[in-house]
Structure 1
Amino acid sequence: MSEQKIPSNALQDYWTDAAQRWVLSLDVLRQRGDNHFTHAAMTAPNVLTFPVTLVMDGRKLERPVNYGLTRVTPPEDVPSDPRKPPIVVVDPRAGHGPGIGGMKDHSEIGAALAAGHPCYFVGFLPDPVPGQTVEDVCRAEAAFIAKAAELHPDADGKPIVIGNCQAGWQVMMMAALNPDLAGPIMLAGSPLSYWAGVHGKNPLRYLGGLLGGTWLTALSGDLGAGIFDGAYLVANFESMNLANTYWSKPYNLYAKVDTEAKRFLDFETWWGSPVLLNAGEMQWIADNLFVGNKLAAGLIRTSDGARIDLRDIKSPIICFCSWGDNITPPQQALDWILDLYDTIDDIVAHGQTIIYSVHPSIGHLGIFVSGQVAQKEHAEFVSFMDLIEVLPPGLYEAVIVEADKVEGERALIKGDYLFRLERRTLDDIRAFGVNDELDNKRFAAAARVSEINLGLYQTFLRPFVRATTNETTASFLRETHPYRLRFASFSDRNPAMAPIKQAANEVRAHRKTVAEDNPYLALERIGSAWITTWLESAGALRDAMTEAFFLNAYASPWLQAAIGLGGEQGAESRRAARDLKSEAEAAHLRARLEHLFDKGGLEEAFLRALIYIRLPEGTIDERGYNMLKIIRESRKAGERLDTQRFKDVFREQLQLVALDADRAMAALPKLAPPGSADADKALKALHLMMSARGAPPEEGQRRLAEVEALLGATPAQAEAPEVAAPRPRAVRKPKTATE
Structure 2
Amino acid sequence: MTGPFSVNPSAGAKAEALFRSDLGDYLIDVAQRNVLMLDVLRRRGDNYLEHVAMIAPHVLGFSFEPVMSGRNLPRPVNYWLVRIIPPEGVVTNEASRPFIVVDPRAGHGPGIGGMKPDSEIGAALAAGHPCYFIGFLPDPVPGQTIEDVGCAEAAFIEAVIKRHPDYPGKPCVIGNCQAGWAVLGLAAARPDLMGPIMAAGAPLAYWNGKDGLNPMRYSGGMLGGSWLASLTGDLGAGIFDGAYLVQNFEKLNPANTWWSKLYDVWSQVDTEAERFLSFEKWWGGHVLLNREEIEFIVEELFVGNKLTKGEVKLSSGKTIDLREVTSPIVVFCSWGDNITPPQQALGWVTDLYASDLALIAAEQTIVYCIHPQAGHLGVFVSSSVARKEHTELTENMDLIDILPPGLWEAVITPREPGQDYADLAAGKHVLRFEPRKLDDIRALGLNTAEDDRRFATVAKLSEINADLYKTWLRPWVKAVANAPSAELSRRLNPLRSQFEAFSHNNSFLRGVPALAEQVRRNRRPAAAGNPFLAWQQMASQNIAASLDLFRDIRDSATELLFKQVYGWPALQQALGVSDETARPVPADRERGVAELEAGLAGLRQRVSDIDANIAVLRAFMFVLAAGKSLDERIFAALRRLQKKHQSLEGTTLWQFKAKVREQFFMLRFDREEAVAAIARVLQKQAPPISLEEFHGILTAAGPLEGEALARYERVSRMFPDHAPGREPPAPAAGTPPPTVRAAPPKPAAQRRRPGTGTRRRTAPQK
Output the TM-score relative to the length of structure 1.
0.94
**One-letter identity of the residue aligned with 1:253:** V
Q: Which residue of 2 aligns with 1:287?
A: 299
- Displacement of 1:410 in angstroms is 2.9
Give, in angstroms, the shift of residue 721 of structure 1: 4.5
The answer to whether the 8 A contact 1:605-1:672 is kept is: yes
Q: CA deviation at 1:461?
A: 1.7
1:12-46 deviation line (CA, Å, top 9, x unaligned): 11111101111111111111111111011111110
Aligned residue for 2:452?
A: 440
Question: Alpha-carbon deviation of 1:698?
Answer: 2.3
Question: 1:80-123, CA deviations, whole angstroms, 9 ceiling, x for partnerless residues?
Answer: 11221100000000000000010001100000000000000000
Partner of residue 170, structure 2:
158
Distance 2:79 2:735 in 1: 40
Q: Compared with structure 1, are the counterparts of its residues 709 and 451 closer, same or farther at alpha carbon in structure 2 (3 Å cutoff)? A: same
Candidates 680, 698, 713, aligned match of 2:706: 698
Q: Who is 1:685 aligned against?
A: 693
* Contact preservation (8 Å) 1:632, 1:640: no
Structure 1's 555 and 127: CA in aligned 2 closer, same or farther, altered over 3 A? same
Cα displacement string for residues 445-475 of structure 1 (whole angstroms, at most 9, x for unaligned residues): 0111111111121222212111111111111
Separation (CA, whole Å) in 2 of partners of 1:726 and 1:549: 65
Amino acid in structure 1 at the alignment position of 2:661: R
Q: 1:720 aligns with which of 725, 729, 751?
A: 729
Q: What SS does the corresponding residue of 1:236 show, helix, strand or coil?
A: helix
Which amino acid is the alignment partner of residue 722 of structure 1? P
Kindly name which structure, 1 or 2, has the bigger radius of gyration based on alpha carbons. 2
Identity %: 48
2:321 matched to which residue of 1? 309
Tell me the CA shift for residue 635 of structure 1.
4.8
Structure 1 residues 384 and 222: alpha-carbon distance in aligned structure 2, compared to 1, 3 A threshold: same
Aligned match for 2:226, one of 205, 214, 219:
214
Q: Distance in 1 between matches of 2:681 and 2:76?
A: 54
Residues in 1 aligned to 2:530 and 2:719: alpha-carbon distance in whole angstroms = 77
Q: Is 1:626 aligned with 2:661?
A: no
Match of 1:730 in 2: none
Q: Give yes or no for contact 1:161–1:184 (8 Å, CA) kept in 2.
A: yes
Whole-Å separation in 2 of the counterparts to 1:135 and 1:177: 11
Whole-angstrom CA distance in 2 between matches of 1:704 and 1:6: 80
Partner of 2:207: 195
Counterpart in the other structure of 2:581: 570
Select 1:103's aligned residue among 115, 123, 131. Answer: 115
Give the distance between the partners of 1:264 and 1:636, measured in 2 at CA: 49
Distance (Å, rounded) in 1 between the aligned partners of 2:544 and 2:579: 45
Pairwise CA RMSD of aligned residues? 2.1
Q: CA–CA distance in 1 between the matches of 2:139 and 2:466?
A: 26
C-alpha deviation, 1:405, in angstroms:
8.0
Q: Secondary structure at the match of 2:707?
A: helix
CA distance in structure 2 between the aligned counterparts of 1:610 and 1:598, rounded to whole angstroms = 16
Question: What is the CA distance between 1:627 and its match in structure 2?
Answer: 1.8
Structure 1 226/619 Cα, relative in aligned 2: closer, same or farther at 3 Å? Answer: same
Q: Distance in 1 between matches of 2:601 and 2:398?
A: 27
SS at match of 1:673: helix
3-state SS of paired residue (1:678): coil
Measure how far apart 1:431 and its partner are: 1.2
Write the deviation string for residues 305-329 of structure 1: whole angstroms up to 9, x where unpaired. 1110111101000000000000000
Give the 3-state SS of the residue equivalent to 1:672 in structure 2.
Answer: helix
- Partner amino acid for 2:693? A
Inter-partner Cα distance in structure 2 for 1:275 and 1:636 = 47
- Counterpart residue number, 1:731: none
**What does residue 340 of structure 1 align with?**
352
SS, match of residue 511 in structure 2? helix
The one-letter code matched in structure 2 to 1:704 is Y
Q: CA deviation at 1:594?
A: 4.8
Q: Which position in structure 2 is the counterpart of 1:647?
A: 657
Give the paired residue count: 719
Matches of 1:54 and 1:152 in 2, distance apart?
16
> Distance between the aligned counterparts of 1:104 and 1:591, measured in 2?
54
Which region of structure 1 is more displaced relative to structure 2, 623-632 or 10-19? 623-632
Partner of 1:708: 716
Which whole-Å CA distance do the structure 1 matches of 2:599 and 2:493 have between them? 56
Match of 2:12 in 1: none
Q: CA deviation at 1:689?
A: 2.1
1:36 aligns with 2:48: yes
Summarize the alignment of residues 224-623 of structure 1 with structure 2, pairs less than 5 Å apart. Answer: 224-404=236-416, 408-565=420-577, 567-572=578-583, 574-578=584-588, 586=596, 593-594=603-604, 596-623=606-633
Provide the C-alpha distance between the structure 1 equivalents of 2:110 and 2:643, rounded to a whole number of angstroms: 40
TM-score (ref. length: structure 2):
0.90
Shift of 1:242: 0.5
How far apart in 1 are the matches of 2:126 and 2:681? 40
Counterpart for residue 140 of structure 1? 152
Which stretch shows the higher mean deviation, 488-497 or 589-598?
589-598
Q: Is the 8 A contact 1:441 1:571 kept in 2?
A: yes
Name the amino acid aligned to 1:597: V
